[in-house]
Structure 1
Amino acid sequence: MSNIHTIPFNPDTQNSSNDALIVAALERVGESFRVLLWEQSKELGLSPIQIQSIIFLHTHDDSRANVTYLSKEFNVTKATMSDVIRVLTEKKLVIKKEHPADSRASVLKLTAQGKKTAESAGGFANTLLKQVSQLTNAQKTGLKTILLDLIFSLHKENIISMQRMCFSCTHYSGNGSKHFCNLLNIPLVPDTLRLDCPEHVQQQG
């Protein structure tokens, strides 16, 4: 059991540990996403996970447009995601189509109304985007590098299940501070590192 003086949400701990303060600050940023998403969900009459699902379908290709992938993406059971898709289908935002390469599988597609709703819903994070846009280029580069490293570390700990970033891709090679994409044949520097790459192929093992 953690001692109260080691818990990062204890102000006294934060005042004596930058590690604790940073963790607490990240929790505050995460809370802002939840608040903004919840406000958007009330406006559209959809649950947060329904909004996240239509945004994902709108911004990713058909290879990831199925219940199995979505359940892993949002860390929920297939049964829960099936219910999400059922409701979105009833609301005429999503339709199921036969997979062109496998008649036993289906691909989830947004309807015209679904695309319109996804485009509207995707703006829920604009408040945070505005704040980030006011940082200097050097601050953005530093923050991006830190966040990508942190996300990759959490992925390796199996806390974040799905990742499509450079460090977890089979096309990635690295040695110390040097990173390279063997598919695009480019060095991966802070400006070219990706968080969500369409060409991503998950490393095995």
Structure 2
Amino acid sequence: MTGKLPGYFDENSESLSARIATGLHKLGLAMKQQSWQQANGAGLSATQGQILAALVAHGPLSGTELSTRLGVTLPTISDSVRVLVEKALVTKAPDPRHPRASLLTPTATGAALGARARSWPEFMADAVADLSPEEQRAFFSGIVKMIRMLQEQGLVPVTGMCVTCTHFRPNVRPGASPHHCAFVDAPISSDQLRLDCPEHERAPEPARREVWEQFLRRD
């Protein structure tokens, strides 16, 4: 091959960021399709499966908490919960924290389905496992930064991530585990950061921004 047009792809390609966005869109379609198929096979909607998975992972929650955690409107949550209660997959009880609210708890059957729903994304983990350790670390670092940016834009719920948690202390020591989790009083590496921690407590906005800036100084 003589390479008569050496600059062709420089002049006729979208930016790398645009191509990454296209790739993420394709991954999102795969996730959506798999979730729909798995939910349908279990006699659930995708939202109902997500609700059961959240209740299994985090314990009893109110409708408002589910709405915040899943990024789904409260009316949609209410409709899905009504169906889950009718199917005897979820029970409702008064919420001692809020007299006018209800706490939702999965039944034994609902918990079993919720545990299955939590495994729906495993096919994607298998694909990620084909990446080299270096590629996985770079990919994970990019995901953390992208989710954090989307959270600050109000497009993703600010829940679950170490980098938005009041217990997170970034870059407080040298070495392979420079961060610290004050909740369990233990060091944590960048590879061990959590995206959906059940003990997450959202830091107030000014502190959240300061923690993020400190995290980026070394990352």
TM-score category, normalised to shorter length: 0.7 to 0.9
Query: What SS is found at the alignment partner of 1:108?
Result: strand
Supply the AA of the counterpart residue of 1:125: P
Partners in 2 of 1:122 and 1:196 — Cα distance? 12
SS of equivalent to 2:192:
coil
Structure 1 alignment gaps of length 5 or more? 1-11
Structure 1 residues 89-98 or 14-23, which shifts more? 14-23
SS at match of 2:190: coil
Which residue identity is paired with 1:47? Answer: S
Pair 1:135 & 2:153 matched: no
Structure with larger RCO (C-alpha < 8 A, sep 6+)? 2
Q: Which residue of 1 aligns with 2:21?
A: 23
- Equivalent residue for 2:3? none
What residue in structure 2 maps to residue 199 of structure 1? 199
Q: Distance in 2 between matches of 1:13 and 1:40?
A: 43
Please give the residue correspondences for 1:119-198 in structure 2 after superposition, counting only pairs within 5 Å: 119-174=115-170, 179-198=179-198
Aligned pair in 2 of structure 1 residues 87, 14: CA closer, same or farther (>3 Å)?
Answer: farther
Structure 2: where are the runs of 5+ without partners?
A: 1-9, 206-219
Identity value in percent: 32
CA distance in 1, matches of 2:36, 2:75: 22
Q: Which runs of 4+ in 1 moved over 6 A?
A: none
- Distance, in Å, in 2 between the alignment partners of 1:43 and 1:138 is 36
Question: TM-score, normalised to structure 2's length?
Answer: 0.78
* Secondary structure at 2:30 match in 1: helix
Aligned-pair distance for 1:167?
1.2
Structure label with greater radius of gyration: 2
Which residue matches 1:59?
Answer: 57
Q: Kindly tell me: are residues 122 and 161 of structure 1, through their superposed partners in 2, closer, same or farther at Cα, counting changes over 3 Å?
A: closer
Q: Which residue of 2 aligns with 1:38?
A: 36
- The whole-number CA distance in structure 2 between the counterparts of 1:200 and 1:37 is 25
Distance 1:13 1:91, change over 3 A: farther
Shift of 1:129: 1.7
Task: Give me the whole-angstrom Cα distance separating, in 1, the residues matched to 2:117 and 2:14.
Answer: 40
Paired positions, count: 193
Q: CA RMSD in A?
A: 2.6
